[in-house]
Amino acid sequence: MKVAVACDHAGFALKETVVNKIKALGHEVIDCGCPDTQRVDFPDYAAKAGALLTGRQAERAVLICGSGIGMCIAANKIHGVYACVCHDAYSAHQGVEHDAMNALCLGALVIGQHVAEEVVERFLAAHYFNEGNYKKRVDKILALENNF
């Protein structure tokens, strides 16, 4: 699987851990930046990863900022990106399975490295159920996206 990874300056310290975990799981990383701890604006990097998702050059994305919230808000403004802050393994896989989440947002100032690795692993191992009530609900989310 191709996974876009993006961060801002506050997320930079956790990015290496996330990239290494994704590679160790056998996935390909597309590094969208940022390249160092110089102050940057997180929406710019959410947009880079979001463009790869919507253009189908990446199947998932991991977005990292200080809290995860800024990246999440910015990413969810991109048509076709379904992002959520998850700091636990259950939410990371359940968001994919039930809600077709394709972007995981992490708060580098909130989550530790070991938990982040577990969350990323569960996020990437999950598959959207795409049937029954799950499909019906996601279809309603898509209708909301298309109508507003």
Under 8 Å between Cβ of 96 and 128: yes
The catalytic residue positions are 65, 98
Place of tokens 């636990």: 88
Cα–Cα distance measured from residue 97 to residue 108, given in angstroms and rounded to the nearest whole number: 24
Q: Where are the alpha helices (DSSP H) in the chain?
A: 12-24, 42-54, 69-75, 89-99, 113-125, 132-147
